[in-house]
Amino acid sequence: MATDEIRQVIVIGGGPAGYTAALYAARANLRPLVIEGFAWGGQLMITSDVENYPGYPEGIMGPEMMRDFRSQAERFGAEFVTDDVARVDFSSHPFRVYVDDAEHRTETVIVATGANARQLGLPSEQQLQGRGVSYCAVCDASFFREKVVVVVGGGDSAMEEATFLTKFASRVIILHRRDEFRASPIMLDRARASEKIEFVTNAVVEEVLGGASGVTGVRYQDVRTGETHEVDAQGLFVAIGHDPSTKLFLDQLDHDDAGYLVTRPGSTETNVAGVFAAGDVQDHVYRQAVTAAGSGCMAALDAERFLAAREGHPGTASTAPRSEPAEV
Shortest CB 240 distance to ligand NAP, Å:
4
Site residues (CB under 6 A) for ligand NAP, limited to 243-302? 284
Nearer to ligand NAP, 9 or 240 (CB): 240
Instruction: Give the residue, chosen from 74, 103, 156, 206, that forms a contact with ligand NAP under the rule CB under 6 A.
Output: 156
Shortest CB 115 distance to ligand NAP, Å:
10
Hey, is 174 helix, strand or coil? strand
Shortest CB 280 distance to ligand NAP, Å:
12
- Euclidean distance between CA atoms 288 and 276, whole angstroms: 19
Q: Of 4, 83, 101, 140, which is the active-site residue?
A: 140
Does residue 136 have an active-site annotation?
yes
Q: What x-and-dash track marks residues 181-220 binding ligand NAP by CB under 6 A?
A: -x--------------------------------------
Q: What is the DSSP letter of 322?
A: P
- Euclidean distance between CA atoms 213 and 230, whole angstroms: 18
The partner residues of 80 in beta bridges, in order of sequence, read 34
Q: What is the DSSP letter of 261?
A: B
Does residue 297 have an active-site annotation?
no
Instruction: Give the residue, chosen from 63, 94, 241, 259, that forms a contact with ligand NAP under the rule CB under 6 A.
Output: 241
Please choose, from the candidates 129, 181, 110, 175, the residue with its C-alpha nearest in 3D space to the C-alpha of residue 149. 175
Instruction: Give the residue, chosen from 153, 210, 217, 296, that forms a contact with ligand NAP under the rule CB under 6 A.
Output: 153
Q: Of 4, 84, 89, 136, which is the active-site residue?
A: 136
Q: What x-and-dash track marks residues 31-70 binding ligand NAP by CB under 6 A?
A: ----------------------------------------
Shortest CB 288 distance to ligand NAP, Å:
13
Choose one: 64-72, 81-89, 157-165, 266-274; the region binding ligand NAP (CB under 6 A). 157-165
Choose one: 77-85, 93-101, 175-183, 259-267; the region binding ligand NAP (CB under 6 A). 175-183
Instruction: Give the residue, chosen from 152, 188, 203, 293, that forms a contact with ligand NAP under the rule CB under 6 A.
Output: 152
Number of residues that bind ligand NAP (CB under 6 A): 16
DSSP string, 59-122: -EEHHHHHHHHHHHHHHTT-EEE-S---EEE-SSSSEEEEETTEEEEEEEEEE---EEE-----
Please choose, from the candidates 31, 28, 7, 1, the residue with its C-alpha nearest in 3D space to the C-alpha of residue 297. 28
Pair 254, 271: CB distance under 8 Å: yes
In this structure, is the dihedral angle defined by the CA atoms of residues 270, 274, 279 and 281, taken in order, positive or negative?
negative
- Euclidean distance between CA atoms 109 and 122, whole angstroms: 36
Instruction: Looking at the chain, list the stretches that DSSP marks H as alpha helix, in order from N- to C-terminal side.
Output: 16-27, 62-75, 123-127, 137-140, 156-165, 185-192, 289-312
Q: Does 106 bind ligand NAP (CB under 6 A)?
A: no
Does residue 139 have an active-site annotation?
yes
With vertex at residue 101, the alpha carbon angle to CA 98 and CA 107, rounded to the nearest 5 degrees, is 30
Dihedral, CA atoms, 215, 187, 185, 180, nearest 10 degrees? 10
Nearer to ligand NAP, 240 or 248 (CB): 240
Residue numbers at the binding site for ligand NAP (CB under 6 A): 118, 120, 152-158, 160, 177-178, 182, 240-241, 284
Residues annotated as part of the active site: 136, 139-140
